[in-house]
Amino acid sequence: MKHYLREGVIILFFSIFAVSINEIKAQGGGAAVPFLRISPDARASGMGEVGTAIADDINAIYWNPGGLAFHEFVPGKFGSDQEPIPYRQVALSFSPWLPQFNADLFYSYGTIGQYFEDLDGTVAINFIFMNLGEFTRTADDGRKLGKFISNEFSLGLSYGTIIAPDLGVGFQLRYIQSNLAPAAPGQQAAGVGISGAFDLGVLWKPQELDLFGLDLGGLFSLGMNLQNVGPKITYKSESDPLPTTLRLGTAFTVIKDEFNDLKLAMDISKLLVKRDELGSDPLPKSLVTGWKNPGVELAFGAEYWYEQIVALRAGYFTEPARLGDRKFWNFGAGIRYDIFRLDFSFINTIEENHPLANTMRFSLMIDWM
Look up residue 255 and give its amino acid. I
**Predicted pLDDT of residue 337:** 93
Q: In this structure, what CATH number is given to the domain that contains residue 322?
A: 2.40.160.40
pLDDT tens sequence across 246-259: 999 999 999 988 89
Nearest Cα residue to 220 out of 8, 41, 5, 2: 8
CA 45/CA 61 separation, integer angstroms: 15
Among 34-48, 85-99, 165-179, 333-347, where is mean pLDDT lowest?
A: 85-99
Q: 346 or 188: which carries more pLDDT confidence?
A: 346
Q: Convert 204-219 to b/e letters by CB count within 10 Å (16 or more is b).
A: bbbeebeeeebebeeb
Stretch 126-150: mean pLDDT: 81
What pLDDT, on the 0 to 100 scale, is given for residue 286?
81
Which has more pLDDT, 121 or 101? 121
Cα–Cα distances (Å) from 163 to 63, 120, 157, 190, 216, in that order, read 19, 10, 19, 45, 21
Average pLDDT along the chain: 82
Please list, in sequence order, all residues whose beta carbon lies within 8 angstroms of the beta carbon of residue 179, skipping any fewer than 6 positions away: 150, 151, 152, 191, 192
Strands (E), the chain: 88-96, 106-116, 121-138, 144-164, 167-181, 191-204, 210-211, 214-215, 220-229, 233-234, 239-240, 245-256, 260-271, 275-276, 279-280, 297-306, 310-318, 327-337, 340-349, 360-367
Backbone phi, psi, residue 362, to 5° = -130, 130
Tell me the C-alpha distance between 195 and 107, whole Å.
Answer: 20
In the predicted structure, residue 6 carries a pLDDT above the cut 70:
no
Task: Please answer whether residues 91 and 361 qualify as being in contact, where contact means their C-beta atoms are separated by less than 8 angstroms.
Answer: no
Residue 242 confidence (pLDDT) above 80: yes
The confidence score (pLDDT) of residue 20 equals 34
Query: Domain containing 71: what range?
Result: 5-367
How many domains is the chain built from?
Answer: 1
